Amino acid sequence: MSSSVVYWANAWSMPMTGLQRASRLGGLLPGCRSWCSCSSSRKILCASTALPRNLGDGLASLESNSSNVSENSLEGTHVNDETNILIECKDVHKSFGEKQILRGLSFKIRHGEAVGIIGPSGTGKSTVLKIMAGLLAPDRGEVLICGRKRHGLVDDEEIAGLRIGLVFQSAALFDSLTVRENVGFQLYENARMPQDKIAELVKENLAAVGLKGVEDRLPSELSGGMKKRVALARSIIYDNTKEIVEPEVLLYDEPTAGLDPIASTVVEDLIRSVHLKGESTTRRLGKIASYVVVTHQHSTIRRAVDRLLFLYDGTIVWEGMTQEFTTSTNPIVKQFASGSLDGPIKY
């Protein structure tokens, strides 16, 4: 058996064949699904014992980690660390029919990073997340997971030791299941835990997203914001009785879209709080080693991520630390940050 786990949280658009396939593979997540083609003796194969870096603390090395970034588009501090790369997209191309969406996209997500992907609507941000999660295959270029090329999609047996979760914009809860069953679905399906222990974990994870006493409700009895938080609880719950759990990269697609400012703050802080910053994956099991957030919201950019990738016209046209975003002189970034109609971005 492979030791790989690639898990996909909260996907709502999975075709039935995929669901059935996931079930066969033994790890179906709720609305999410889990491809657990793994044995119980899974090992951390790519967890770094190095502490995640505090990216805001003056790491001075500059690095162009994106071959298509223009000369002046790398700003500020970047990590020149080739040993801690969890996911790498290399010269990725993707078209839908005649429409070319990605035209040679390259970037790296390192252990410990909190990365935002921003850019105008329709530029392919969600597509990038799906490619990273293994739900879509690039037409050209490659995706490396812990340095190993992914040949297939999510159930690629050769990917080992890194879980990749995708939290879709839509909460994608199972309508006929209670909140408890939705949040605990993965554990009810896969874990060898007593039901009361799972219920306890569900309660804890719901409390972490600011929800109490909703376990017995159906999704239809929740507001949109509550559903999003339930979906987040579902994406962070894990079997904490296991001795070793793979580190995980969580990919969030517009986690705060449609939320009021306070609910957005709750979600942004939650995204931060489940991150493994400052701790070793080997010590705190099952926590989020790195995460990537696609967002349009300024508050989410400010609160939830440290480094930004700006996607435009199929490539990363700018990358920098979050604080550099508003002061950048890059005309594309300037226009986007100010919301101006004048500039290189045409609608």
Ligand X SMILES: Nc1ncnc2c1ncn2[C@@H]1O[C@H](COP(=O)(O)OP(=O)(O)OP(=O)(O)O)[C@@H](O)[C@H]1O
Summarize as ranges the residues that interact with ligand X (CB under 6 A). Answer: 96, 101, 121-127
* Residue 66 or 126 having the CB closest to ligand X: 126
Query: Kind and range of the H or E element at 117?
Result: strand 114-118
Least distance CB 8 / ligand X (angstroms): 16
Tokens of 210: 């600011």
Q: In angstroms, rounded to a whole number, what is the distance separating the alpha carbons of residues 251 and 89?
A: 14
Least distance CB 296 / ligand X (angstroms): 6
Q: In angstroms, rounded to a whole number, what is the distance separating the alpha carbons of residues 181 and 162?
A: 25
Q: Which residues contact 93 (CB under 8 A, 6 or more apart)?
A: 100, 102, 103, 104, 105, 138, 139, 140, 141, 314
* Residue 170 or 328 having the CB closest to ligand X: 170
Least distance CB 120 / ligand X (angstroms): 7
* Residue 69 or 311 having the CB closest to ligand X: 311
* Residue 114 or 131 having the CB closest to ligand X: 131
Least distance CB 128 / ligand X (angstroms): 7
Q: In angstroms, rounded to a whole number, what is the distance separating the alpha carbons of residues 245 and 302?
A: 30
Least distance CB 293 / ligand X (angstroms): 12
In this structure, what are the phi and psi dihedrals at residue 75, rounded to the nearest 5 degrees? -120, 150
- C-alpha separations of 308 from 73, 115, 227, 321, 325 in Å: 12, 6, 27, 6, 8
* Residue 94 or 110 having the CB closest to ligand X: 94
As a whole number of Å, the end-to-end CA separation of the chain is 50
